[in-house]
Amino acid sequence: MLFITIKENFLYAGIVGIVAVLVFYKRYGVAFIVAVGATVGLADATSHYILKEIIARPRPCHTLPDLINVVNCSNSFSFPSNHAVNNFAAATLISLCFRKATLPAFMFALLICYSRVYLKVHYPSDVLAGALFGSLMGYLGYHHIFTRILKLISPKGEEQPHDEPTQNTNT
């Protein structure tokens, strides 16, 4: 569980994923990458700097003295889980842009949420709220960021289908 919760463990897989999206999906991929970055960034900042500070719920590792922690307990507040917010925002955006990737995207997000509770750094309600807020942010990111970027960078009349890489018609 510790491996799945450490962001740095997925750096190379993330780079390979970004390159693959850009190679196979061209303009659609650029719009997607920019939208994911903006959506997750907005979701993370809103959750961390606004929601956590307003709600100010201590983490279980700070309030339950008998817990034996596998990881160091962060000094930030617990509610909502930013891991859940960020991963569900990304999973929702992925599912709306690439329908065939819906199941793996949400399974990965759920696994990360489970790891946060398993490692005793969040209560189940922290990750549930984070998943709901992240899903909302992913939906809003799709409708207000991705679609606008796609309209800006696509030639008039050209629309990229979901799940279909761009076809090179210059053969």
pLDDT above 90 covers a percentage of the chain that reads 35
pTM, two decimal places: 0.81
**DSSP codes, 50-64:** IIHHHH-PPPHHHH-
**H helical segments located in 50-146:** 52-55, 60-63, 82-97, 102-118, 124-141
The burial of 68, by beta-carbon neighbours within 10 Å (0-12 exposed, 13-18 middle, 19 or more buried), is given as: exposed
pLDDT at residue 139, rounded to an integer = 96
Please choose, from the candidates 8, 78, 10, 86, the residue with its C-alpha nearest in 3D space to the C-alpha of residue 45. 86
pLDDT at residue 171, rounded to an integer = 45
Residue 120 confidence (pLDDT) above 60: yes
Q: What is the Cα–Cα distance from 98 to 162, expressed in whole angstroms?
A: 6
Q: What is the Cα–Cα distance from 85 to 67, expressed in whole angstroms?
A: 25
**Taking the domains of the chain in order of start, what are their residue ranges?**
27-68+79-153
Q: What is the Cα–Cα distance from 170 to 141, expressed in whole angstroms?
A: 33
- Most confidently modeled of 13-17, 40-44, 119-123? 40-44
Residue 56 confidence (pLDDT) above 70: yes
Right CATH number for 27-68+79-153 from 1.10.390.10, 1.20.144.10, 3.40.605.10, 2.102.10.10?
A: 1.20.144.10
pLDDT in tens, 132-171: 999 999 999 999 999 898 888 877 755 555 555 444 445 4
Query: Mean pLDDT across the stretch 95-110?
Result: 91
